[in-house]
Amino acid sequence: MVEIAKSLSLDASIIVMDEPTSSLQLQPRRPTELNEVEVLLDLILKLRDRGKAVIYILTVWVKSSASPPDYHPARWQAGGRA
């Protein structure tokens, strides 16, 4: 999140995020809070709404018997969260 803050302070128009969720907590600190991944996804949507381009690199290795993580493609479409 520190690197994202740095890019925002430089008023970057394009932000490249390589595996940004790899070091984030999946469990919120308090039951009423969002987890860090949800906070990041909300931030990306706000950046999009401000006209910033976000390149999000995510690698998911899935075994044939496993289901993929619960990422919602609709979050990235115009209109926001699924």
Torsion of CA 18, 52, 43, 79, to 10 degrees: -110
Round to whole Å and give the CA distance between 51 and 38: 20
pLDDT one digit per residue (tens) for the chain, 82 residues? 777 778 778 888 898 988 887 877 777 777 777 788 888 888 889 989 999 999 988 887 666 555 555 555 555 555 554 4
pLDDT at 53: 92
- The model carries a pTM of 0.60
Domain boundaries along the sequence of the chain: 2-76
pLDDT at 12: 86
pLDDT at 49: 93
pLDDT at 51: 92
